[in-house]
């Protein structure tokens, strides 16, 4: 069974008020579309096809070389966007998994459930829905008296009765490919001059074909990003998810709402993270460490039983049993061997400090190699 994920990322995102494509705005250090690419690959083990348009070259640079691209020259809606992928995928896949590039909180697990649901479904569509009292502009899922899905009505076209419906269309679908490609040509032009992918639900229903809804268990996955307010909401929900995962893995976070941990960070068990600490991508922290408060660490490897207090570490290596700070600064190329002590207001750049070396306060070391058990006094510059 061949499954092809397609990410719709051609829109400009005018409500972001930005010269950059919407899907390139960062969430915890990663472009928004990175999360969609990761989730799609986790679900299918197949690199996604991305429909690009506004800022196409910039999106290509972020998305990587394994990704296929198709260009939507004129932004005529989501249905038209998916049509652009037909020449690449028609006749080459069994299922098409479609997700918007502005839903960065969708997980690989949820997308796997969508694929599994469609594999066991006789109809041509599985669609993701969410029950919420905050519609956020989503279309309403209309059902008949027996509970079968009849249509998705966009908010702007919904009647007053339809607007009170709490089941919302998230905008992610899994289609049977052989049905999808001819059905796309049946979508009518809307009053806005666009072809809506949501019309496929009504097209299937009109032919007495089943549409299978899959309700989200975690409503936060449906947070879409159309404004910078939404971007902040998505980042807060994503950070809460990441921090929870680390706490369940044996890491203590004091005031977790103040701790920022980006994807691709690793932390060992029984490490304690104090408030206002920011761990950026590429950082690896061992077991039984104390990090923070008021600390920023970026792309740095830290061993076991280390203490880093109110300091900044960038592109550095810290071996076991090292203590740093307060107000220490490790710059690119700094390497502290086992048992090094670095006092307050110290700075090290492109230098190696041997095992057991002690560096006093207000000292700077740059482009140097220091041996074992050396005592560097305060106010020294090497």
Question: Positive or negative CA dihedral for 226, 296, 271, 326?
Answer: negative
The CA dihedral of 330, 335, 339, 342, to the nearest 10 degrees, is -30
Active site residues: 361
- Residue 381 tokens read as 């510059």
Q: Rounded to whole angstroms, how far apart are CA atoms 344 and 25?
A: 36
Could you give phi then psi for residue 213, rounded to 5 degrees?
Answer: -85, 145
For the chain, what's the residue count?
382
DSSP string, 311-361: -EEES-EE-TT-EE-SS-EE-TT-EE-TT-EE-TT-EEES-EE-TT-EE-T
Gyration radius of the chain's alpha carbons: 26
Q: Rounded to whole angstroms, how far apart are CA atoms 369 and 355?
A: 12
C-alpha separations of 64 from 8, 48, 57, 59, 68 in Å: 16, 10, 11, 9, 9
Biggest CA–CA distance in the chain, Å, is 83
Q: Half-sphere exposure of 373 toward its Cβ, with a 13 Å CA cutoff?
A: 0
CB 29 within 8 A of CB 262: yes
């Amino acid at each position: 069974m061949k499954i092809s994920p397609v990410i719709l990322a051609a829109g400009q995102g005018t409500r972001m008020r930005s010269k950059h494509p919407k899907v390139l705005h960062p969430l915890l250090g990663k472009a928004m579309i990175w999360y969609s690419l990761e989730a799609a690959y986790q679900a299918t083990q197949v690199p996604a096809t991305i429909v690009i348009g506004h800022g196409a070259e910039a999106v290509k640079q972020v998305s990587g070389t394994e990704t296929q691209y198709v260009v939507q020259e004129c932004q005529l809606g989501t249905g038209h966007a998916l049509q652009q992928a037909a020449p690449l995928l028609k006749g080459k896949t069994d299922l098409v998994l479609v997700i918007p590039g502005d839903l960065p909180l969708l997980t690989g697990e949820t997308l796997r459930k969508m694929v599994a649901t469609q594999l066991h479904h006789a109809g041509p569509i599985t669609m993701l829905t969410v029950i919420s009292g905050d519609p956020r502009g989503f279309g309403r899922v209309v059902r008949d008296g027996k509970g079968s899905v009849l249509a998705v009505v966009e908010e702007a076209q919904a009647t007053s009765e339809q607007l009170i419906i709490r089941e919302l269309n998230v905008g992610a679908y899994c289609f049977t490919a052989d049905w999808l490609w001819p059905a796309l040509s049946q979508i009518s032009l809307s009053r806005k001059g666009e072809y809506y992918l949501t019309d496929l639900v009504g097209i299937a229903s009109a032919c007495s074909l089943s549409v299978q809804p899959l309700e989200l268990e975690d409503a936060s996955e449906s947070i879409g990003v159309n404004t910078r307010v939404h971007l902040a909401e998505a980042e807060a929900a994503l950070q809460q998810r990441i921090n929870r995962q680390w706490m369940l893995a044996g890491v203590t976070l004091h005031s977790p709402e103040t701790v920022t941990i980006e994807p691709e960070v690793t932390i060992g068990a029984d490490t304690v993270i104090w408030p206002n600490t920011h761990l950026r991508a590429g950082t690896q922290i061992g077991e039984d460490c104390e990090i923070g408060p008021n600390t920023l660490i970026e792309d740095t490897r830290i061993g076991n039983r280390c203490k880093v207090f109110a300091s900044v570490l960038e592109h550095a290596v810290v071996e076991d049993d090292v203590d740093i700070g307060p107000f220490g600064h490790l710059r690119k190329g700094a390497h502290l061997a086992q048992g090094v002590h670095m006092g307050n207001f110290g700075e090290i750049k492109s230098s190696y400090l041997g095992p057991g070396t002690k560096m006093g306060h207000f000292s700077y070391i740059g482009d140097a190699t220091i041996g074992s058990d050396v005592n560097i006094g305060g106010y020294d510059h090497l």
